[in-house]
A = this chain, B = another copy of it.
Amino acid sequence: MLKEERHNVILDELRSNNSVKSMKLSEILRVSEDTIRRDLIDLEKNGQLKKVHGGAVALSYIPSFKKREVLEKQTKHVIAKKALSLIMDDQVLIIDGGTSNMQLVNILPTDKKLTVFTNSLPVASKLCEYSNIDSVLLGGSILRKGHTTIGLQSLEFLLDIHADICFLGITSVDPEFGLTEANLEETTIKKAMIQASDTVVSMVISNKLNTRQSFKVENMDKMSIMITELDPTDGRLQPYVQKGIKMM
């Protein structure tokens, strides 16, 4: 049997089961597990699956979302890398929706052991690929625009949990007006996320600085750490530093 054939079988198996074990593949295809592992490496290199300990999982289908993401991608990548340094093994995270947070999830190393609460469908989907991460999706009505859930269910649930870090997505920040959103329903859940976390981290592209939206989430000082693509000592950030916010 040709290598290519094996690859196709593996992908089929993955399509119908979402995950496969190397051992099982090795039986089906009658080759050593080493060979299977090498196949998986090839397929992963082609972006056709995600290798995990013991086998592989299918990539998340994640829909339309990606197009928006190209915007300012490099910048977001820089920011996400800074954010990554905050994440330690065995932490409990809340990850809000938004493209910056998605970017962070995309560069998460596979070996991090984490518990993640999220209200974002794309985040949850992506996390299915990580066998070391327990993820919990906050239920509720779906906000079409952001592929996130909102509503009472999530809210109630957030009351009962506690996280080390919350990665909060936020549309606008301003030293005076605080954290603001364009959508009323989102503010409620964001408030609850902040409440439930020790540390509140936001990734903020500099063009969001000193802007405001219609609905207030919280005062600026609820944010513990702000991550931008700028140097932490940049003058533009000083008003925020004075509010007691740490910069990265």
Contact = CB atoms under 8 A, between A and B. Distances in A.
Given A8-B64, A64-B9, A18 B135 contact: no
Nearest to A147: B128
Interface residues of A, number: 55
Interface stretch (A30-38, A103-111, A136-144): A136-144
Contact of A147 (B18, B136, B147, B149): B18
Given A63-B12, A128-B63, A3 B54 contact: yes
Given A55-B2, A137-B139, A153-B153, A12 B144 contact: no
Interface stretch (A80-88, A118-126, A172-180, A234-242): A118-126
A142 B128 contact: yes
A9 B64 CA distance: 6
Given A15-B63, A18-B147, A124-B142, 11 more contacts: A2-B55, A5-B64, A17-B145, A18-B146, A60-B147, A128-B142, A129-B144, A137-B137, A137-B149, A138-B139, A139-B153
